Amino acid sequence: MKLKKLALTGLLVLVCGTAFAEPGHGCDKGKFDKANWQEHHLEHFEKHQDKLHTILQLSSTQETAWKNYQAQIKPQDKAEHPEVAELNKLNTLQRLDKMEAWDKERDARQADRAKAVRTFYAQLNDAQKKAFDENAFPQHDGPHHGGPRHEK
């Protein structure tokens, strides 16, 4: 009797384990495609900006400000981190210098984007500001990796 229960339990574990490992049940979801990431990011950005433009209902006088804002915040080619192999050839202080330079470039890009947002935001009326506040920067539910990230 014990052998029968043990065999049944083993079979159950095997079947359940196989079911969870099947593609389409979460194993391949969120698989990162590095080659197409930039393209996907730009496509998502453009869809979101189109939606935001519709929601804001800009006047004809605000359209120039919108176009300037879009030109300033459009994602650029992602600045690459220094290659790990390259960093491994350097001593600690040289690595720190490389990483600090990279951080400064990223911070400068972020400051430029923040300035563009502030300039555009100043052109909006109160109702548009409220709509911008609610829709300009989508809130992400869940953790950065694996949680729901985009509206479908």
Q: Please give the Cα distance from 86 to 97 (Å, whole number).
A: 13
Q: Tokens in use for 94?
A: 């040289």
Q: Would you state the pLDDT for residue 75? A: 83
pLDDT, tens digit, 9 for 90 and up, residues 24-33: 444 445 555 6
pLDDT at residue 100 greater than cutoff 70: yes
- If you average pLDDT over residues 129-139, what whole number do you get? 89
Long-range contacts of 99-104 (CB under 8 A, 24+ apart): none
Of the listed ranges 2-16, 27-41, 56-70, the least confidently predicted one is: 2-16
